[in-house]
Structure 1
């Protein structure tokens, strides 16, 4: 079984364990960066267990957090944006790029966060610097996918490592 299939299987088991009310044994997040040649953008999505994410937001920003509360949506948007922009950086073709926060949504036991980088005409390399939840867990694993057309490059980054470079 390939490494990525094994990791995917572990992630599925972890998500189903959480659904069943069992505390998840892995501390994992996923980040996907897709190059959209038509719109000349990098579309970025992150998936983080909501309970872990709420815990780190409360710890760092010293306030109540509830990602699923419609009444707290504006406040949560501010915290999610602040956290993600300080824990995820990208370089395109060797140059740092600005991530624009789009928003987040709850999907079962996970939070999906969306960001975008504009004005990327072509892509030869993407460097991902990911420290999501590193300030909470010393066994954090980040699964990173970088996609350009039909080519997908993936890796797992284990704490304290934080960088992945995909060359096309």
Structure 2
């Protein structure tokens, strides 16, 4: 009984801060595809702080503005290099699933990925305990890691 109460207390007063980013390369189009799962309340707080506005991701008054802010924020905090070349990402959109926003990006055609360098500091300015999980799936080979704040960069070789 006491253990249950302590677990509930810990959960309430020590929240969990994590995002998950998945990066793939479409074998037909050779585009890099990115999906980032971020708790929408944390993302809203980051957008409000950075852009000095009051954004609602769940019920946006101006969906175009929210799309632009999410796109700009994530592009500032998620950088990808393929074979030592920067990859420009285009925002595709976002959707809400339970407590999270799934944010989608895609690049133009890039060469087959041999090396993938990822810089991801999404929400690091919001939470010192932020963890960003990264999964890269290239030609059926999956590599994963986690970046604990302040570690921001990982390299994968395929």
Query: Separation in 2 of the partners of 1:62 and 1:71?
Result: 16
TM-score, normalization by structure 2: 0.89
* Deviation readout 1:12-43 (Å, 9 max, x if unpaired): xxxxx9xxxx6772111011100111111110
Structure 1 residues 161 and 149: alpha-carbon distance in aligned structure 2, compared to 1, 3 A threshold: same
Matched length = 149
Q: 1:127 aligns with which of 94, 97, 117?
A: 117
Q: Which residue of 2 aligns with 1:34?
A: 24
Query: Separation in 2 of the partners of 1:140 and 1:105?
Result: 22
* Deviation readout 1:140-167 (Å, 9 max, x if unpaired): 1000000012210000110100011110
Structure 1 residues 70 and 56: alpha-carbon distance in aligned structure 2, compared to 1, 3 A threshold: closer
Deviation of the 1:71 alpha carbon: 3.1
Structure of greater Rg: 2
Instruction: Give 3-state SS (helix, strand or coil) of 2:63's partner.
Output: helix
Query: Separation in 1 of the partners of 2:45 and 2:75?
Result: 18
Q: Which residue of 1 aligns with 2:39?
A: 49
Query: Separation in 1 of the partners of 2:64 and 2:85?
Result: 31
Q: 1:158 aligns with which of 140, 148, 156?
A: 148
Deviation of the 1:139 alpha carbon: 0.9
- Structure 1 stretches of 4+ with a deviation exceeding 3 A read none
Q: Which residue of 1 aligns with 2:82?
A: 92
TM-score, normalization by structure 1: 0.84
Q: Which runs of 5+ in 1 are unaligned?
A: 1-16
